[in-house]
C-alpha cells in the first residue's frame, strides 16, 4: 500500500483493514485538505473504539455518494446515538468553549439547528 496522506499520532497503530478503509475513503471522497496538499490527522475515540478523520467535503460529492434523506435521529438501540446523547449546553467543556465569542456564536447556531431538526433540547 502506498504511504497514506495521514498523520498517525504516536501510540496509535491502526491495523491494515483500517488503513485500507482510510485509503478507500480518501480516494472516493477527496477531502479539501488533500486537494490543497495537506495531510489528514487520524483520531481514535476511546469510548466507541473507532478511528475517524475530520475533513471537509464538497457538497456535490456528498450528494452523489450519500443518502441525503437519511434520518439523523437515533433511537435508544443506536450505539452512536447513545455515545452522543449526553451532550448538553450545561457541560463544562461546552461552557468553556462558549467563552470565546466566535465559538459562542458557532455553538448557538449549531444548538439552534439541532433543536430545529430534532425538536428537543435534550440531544
pLDDT in tens, 64-94: 877 766 666 656 566 665 565 555 555 565 5
Cα distance between residue 97 and residue 84, in whole Å:
17
* Helix or strand holding residue 95 (H, E): helix 92-97
| Average pLDDT, integer, range 16-45 | 92
Q: What is the pTM of this model?
A: 0.54
Question: Sorting pLDDT into bands at 50, 70 and 90, what band is 61?
Answer: confident
**Of 23, 34, 80, 24, which Cα lies nearest the Cα of 57?**
34
pLDDT in tens, 86-101: 555 555 655 655 555 5
- Distance set, CA 7 to CA 2, 43, 102 (Å): 14, 9, 28
The confidence score (pLDDT) of residue 123 equals 45
Burial class (CB in 10 A: 0-12, 13-18, 19+), 22: buried
**Coil, strand or helix: which one is 31?**
coil
Cell numbers at 123, concatenated? 440531544
Amino acid at each position: 500500500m502506498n504511504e497514506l496522506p495521514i498523520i498517525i499520532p504516536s501510540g496509535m497503530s491502526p491495523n491494515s483493514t483500517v488503513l485500507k478503509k482510510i485509503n478507500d475513503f480518501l480516494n472516493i471522497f477527496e477531502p479539501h485538505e488533500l486537494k490543497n496538499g495537506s495531510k489528514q490527522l487520524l483520531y481514535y475515540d476511546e469510548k466507541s473504539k473507532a478511528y475517524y478523520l475530520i475533513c471537509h467535503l464538497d457538497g456535490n460529492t456528498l450528494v452523489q455518494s450519500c443518502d441525503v434523506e437519511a434520518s439523523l435521529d437515533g433511537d435508544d438501540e443506536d450505539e452512536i446515538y447513545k455515545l452522543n446523547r449526553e451532550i448538553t449546553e450545561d457541560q463544562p467543556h461546552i461552557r468553556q468553549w462558549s467563552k470565546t465569542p466566535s465559538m459562542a456564536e458557532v455553538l448557538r447556531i449549531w444548538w439552534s439547528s439541532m433543536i430545529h431538526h430534532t425538536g428537543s433540547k435534550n440531544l
